[in-house]
Structure formats: structure tokens, C-alpha cells
């Protein structure tokens, strides 16, 4: 067995980041997350500590007060958070939403927001894309942003929009030109920065959605919400292209979280299977127990390689859509396989909250559905990588 991180060679390269994130996470033991899970509360102190330490500003360039890290380094941060037993889902939006502003925002917007986000004065944790009637068919969204004098007027509805109660800003995707009036259905969509502090209660209402992972997520309703025209990110009508960049970063980062989860499950089950004695010997001595754990470990390591490949391509500004999608598919499948082995070999104790297995099991399951379902990843690979005929 390899060293304590049991990752590939890249794991050793980021030993300093890993050690520092682990130190911070140690201050938030499993009981902390268990209590929050029971009360469905947001880990405010944990997110504050990550912000103060500068980890959530990893992708903000140094000239705007951030750490100017690569996506690879940022992915290591989130991996270590999940590896420690915590859940990056409470704050990962801040990492990849930032990229949209960094890569496509105006100089004025970057100077206005990025230093404050880097210092923790402002949070940009939310991105509003999904709609109840469009689902994964993003270009079919119905929320509109109509220009009126010096503002955009927003009407429509979003669903599953996370962390809005713990964010100051949200990036919103809305249609500025009707689908019928554009040559390509992906044209005519725009990105706008919404100041949640002034929007909620003034044209925007929110309704929390209770859910399996107690992830703080909501339905949003827009009823003539006015947003200053200066909050448009990039050019009007090009929003779909801008979010694709961000979605690739999101997929690579969440793949890293799944790697962290996978290793957490493998650590937990290896330890348990070595100490739990049934029929006079450790259960881990049985090959029927060993093999599913070993197989999950092999798959986590294979997924880890694709995650590093996706991050490296993104960092080199090279196309990385295929690799980011494949990394997420491989990593979320591997972490789920590890989760199943971990739950199974804890026997009844896997269901007891105090072992944290059932909580992590629920948390890692999400990533085969959101941010993108495994079927849609396979469809992307079939059509865009293999050149098979389009199915939709």
C-alpha cells in the first residue's frame, strides 16, 4: 500500500496544500458535521474558516487579492476537504463560479467584486441555471432578461439553486433573445450578476427544497426583478458559451471531491474490516470482503488520473470538455462503488449516524445526478468524442 494519501504521483506534488487543508479540517471533527446534518444547518464556522484561510479564493488571480492557484491545486483543496469527512458541496460554488467572472467579467466588475470575494467580505456561492421545465436541456430555459433603460427586468423561475441563503451574489443565466429569433439555440442567452442582498424580497423570492443530503438549495421565483445593465457579464447573448468553461471546471473539481470521498470510504472500511472479528477472524480476511474494496480502490485511482488530466488541460487553456466529463463520470461511479463497499462491510453499523458512513453515502450519491447526470455525460462522449449521430 502506498503512503498516507495513497494517490498517484501528483498527490505528493501537492503535499503542502494537502497538509494545510487537513490541519484546518481537523478543527471540525465528524461530530460537528453530524450535528449539522441532524439539524439541517449550514456549516457557517467551517466555511468562514476556509474563507479566512484563503482556500475559497484559490482561483482568484493574485492581482485581485486571491491565491492565483491552478485548477489542479484548487481540486486538491476540495479533494482534501471531502477526504477529511467534510463535504465541499457547502462551498465549492465559490471556486467555479469565480472562474466565470475572472474569465469573462469586465475589468470594472473584477475590480469591484473579486478583492471583496477574496477577503471574504462578499460570497459568490450561487449559480442559477436549472429550471423546472427545461431540466438538462439548458437552451430551453424560459427565464427572460428584458432590457429596459439602464436595467434588465427578470421574469421566470429556477430550481435547485444552491447556497443562496449563504451567498451575497449569484450568477444567473437568462434568455435575452427568444429562442425563435436566434440562428443557434445556444445564442441569445446571457449571464447576469445578481446581488442577492437587494434582490430577495424585491422581485425575487426563494423557497427552500428539503432534500436527502440537507444541501441548502432552493426554488427561485423572479417577478420583474430589476438588475442594473452593468451587471451583464461579457457580451449579451453569449452567456451559454461562458458557462461551458465554468461547467468544465465544476466537473473536474467535483471529480476531485469524489476522489476524496472514495478514499474516505476505503480508509473507513479498511480500518473496520481489519478490526471487526466475526467467526473468529477479522472480516477483512475473507476475500469476499477484500475484493469489492480492492476493486473500488483500483477504480478510484484510475479516476484520479483522469481528474489530473482534465485539470491540466484546463490550466493550459486547452479544450477539456471530454476529459472533465469523463473524470466526473469515473470519479462519481468509483466513489459510489467505494460507498457501497463501505456501507456493506460495516454491516448494521453502516446505518448508524455515529459512523458517518450513511451521511457520506448520501452525499456522494448526488454526483451521479448533479451537476450533470451520468447519462448526459455518456451522450456527450458518444456524440462529441465518438462522432455518433446526435440524439437530441
Note the residues at the interface with ligand FAD (CB under 6 A).
Answer: 127-130, 135-136, 160-162, 211, 215, 217, 366, 369-373, 375, 379, 392
Q: Is 73 helix (H, G, I), strand (E, B) or coil?
A: helix
Nearest distance in Å: CB 132, ligand FAD = 8
Q: Which is nearer to ligand FAD, 270 or 364 (CB)?
A: 364
Q: Which is nearer to ligand FAD, 161 or 268 (CB)?
A: 161
Max CA separation in the chain (angstroms): 79
Nearest distance in Å: CB 375, ligand FAD = 3
Q: Which is nearer to ligand FAD, 19 or 140 (CB)?
A: 140
d(CA 148, CA 81): 44
Place of cell 442577492: 196
By beta-carbon distance, which residue lies closest to ligand FAD?
Answer: 135
Chain centre to alpha carbon of residue 275:
34
Distances (CA, A) of 63 to 33, 59, 74: 35, 12, 18
- State the CB neighbour count (10 A cutoff) for residue 380: 17
Q: Which is nearer to ligand FAD, 232 or 247 (CB)?
A: 247
Nearest distance in Å: CB 341, ligand FAD = 24
Q: Which is nearer to ligand FAD, 151 or 209 (CB)?
A: 209
- State the CB neighbour count (10 A cutoff) for residue 97: 27
d(CA 326, CA 343): 26
Nearest distance in Å: CB 384, ligand FAD = 14
Closest CA to 116 of 93, 94, 92: 94
Q: Which is nearer to ligand FAD, 220 or 283 (CB)?
A: 220
Q: Which is nearer to ligand FAD, 125 or 299 (CB)?
A: 125
Q: Which is nearer to ligand FAD, 25 or 173 (CB)?
A: 173
Nearest distance in Å: CB 310, ligand FAD = 18
Place of cell 480476511: 285
Nearest distance in Å: CB 38, ligand FAD = 18
d(CA 199, CA 169): 10
CB 17 within 8 A of CB 76: yes
Angle at Cα 5 formed by Cα 316 and Cα 356, nearest 5°? Answer: 110
Nearest distance in Å: CB 217, ligand FAD = 5
- DSSP H or E stretch at residue 222: strand 217-228
Question: If DSSP states are collapsed to H, E and C, what string results for 285-341?
Answer: HCHHHHHHHHHHHHHHHHHHHHHHHHHHHHHCCCCCHHHHHHHHHHHHHHHHHHHHH
Q: Which is nearer to ligand FAD, 304 or 358 (CB)?
A: 358
Contacts of 8 (CB under 8 A, 6+ apart): 301, 304, 305, 308
Q: Which is nearer to ligand FAD, 2 or 369 (CB)?
A: 369
d(CA 53, CA 228): 32
Q: Is 41 helix (H, G, I), strand (E, B) or coil?
A: coil
Nearest distance in Å: CB 158, ligand FAD = 7
Cell of 5: 494519501
Nearest distance in Å: CB 293, ligand FAD = 28
Nearest distance in Å: CB 75, ligand FAD = 19
Amino acid at each position: 500500500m502506498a503512503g498516507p494519501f495513497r494517490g498517484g504521483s501528483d498527490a505528493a506534488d501537492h503535499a503542502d496544500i494537502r497538509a494545510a487543508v487537513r490541519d484546518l479540517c481537523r478543527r471540525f471533527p465528524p461530530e460537528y458535521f453530524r450535528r449539522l446534518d441532524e439539524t439541517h444547518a449550514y456549516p457557517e464556522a467551517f466555511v468562514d474558516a476556509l474563507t479566512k484561510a484563503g482556500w475559497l479564493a484559490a482561483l482568484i488571480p493574485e492581482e485581485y487579492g486571491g491565491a492565483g492557484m491552478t485548477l489542479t491545486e484548487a481540486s486538491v483543496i476540495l479533494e482534501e476537504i471531502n477526504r477529511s469527512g467534510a463535504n465541499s458541496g457547502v462551498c465549492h460554488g465559490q471556486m467555479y463560479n469565480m472562474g466565470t467572472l475572472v474569465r469573462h467579467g469586465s475589468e470594472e466588475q473584477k475590480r469591484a467584486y473579486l478583492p471583496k470575494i477574496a477577503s471574504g467580505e462578499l460570497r459568490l456561492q450561487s449559480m442559477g441555471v436549472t429550471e423546472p421545465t427545461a431540466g438538462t436541456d439548458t437552451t430551453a430555459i424560459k427565464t427572460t432578461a428584458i432590457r429596459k433603460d439602464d436595467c434588465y427586468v427578470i421574469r421566470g423561475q429556477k430550481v435547485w439553486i444552491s447556497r443562496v441563503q449563504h451567498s451575497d451574489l449569484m450568477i444567473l443565466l437568462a434568455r435575452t433573445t427568444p429562442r425563435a429569433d436566434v440562428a443557434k439555440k445556444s445564442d441569445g442567452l446571457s449571464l447576469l450578476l445578481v446581488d442577492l442582498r437587494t434582490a430577495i424580497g424585491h422581485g425575487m423570492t426563494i423557497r427552500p427544497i428539503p432534500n436527502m443530503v440537507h444541501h441548502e438549495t432552493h426554488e427561485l421565483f423572479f417577478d420583474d426583478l430589476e438588475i442594473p445593465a452593468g451587471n451583464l457579464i461579457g457580451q449579451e447573448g453569449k452567456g451559454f458559451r461562458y458557462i461551458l468553461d465554468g461547467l468544465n471546471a465544476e466537473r473536474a473539481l467535483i471529480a476531485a471531491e469524489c476522489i476524496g470521498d472514495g478514499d474516505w470510504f476505503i480508509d473507513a472500511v479498511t480500518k473496520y474490516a481489519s478490526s471487526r472479528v466475526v467467526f473468529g477472524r477479522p472480516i477483512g480476511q475473507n476475500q469476499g470482503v477484500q475484493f469489492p474494496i480492492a476493486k473500488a480502490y483500483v477504480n478510484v485511482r484510475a479516476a484520479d488520473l483522469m481528474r489530473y488530466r482534465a485539470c491540466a488541460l484546463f490550466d493550459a487553456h486547452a479544450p477539456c470538455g471530454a476529459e472533465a466529463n469523463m473524470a466526473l463520470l469515473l470519479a462519481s461511479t468509483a466513489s459510489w462503488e467505494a460507498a457501497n463497499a463501505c456501507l456493506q462491510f460495516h454491516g448494521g453499523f453502516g446505518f448508524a449516524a455515529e459512523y458517518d458512513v450513511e451521511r457520506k453515502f448520501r452525499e456522494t450519491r448526488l454526483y451521479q445526478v448533479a451537476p450533470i447526470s451520468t447519462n448526459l455525460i455518456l451522450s456527450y462522449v458518444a456524440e462529441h468524442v465518438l462522432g455518433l449521430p446526435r440524439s437530441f
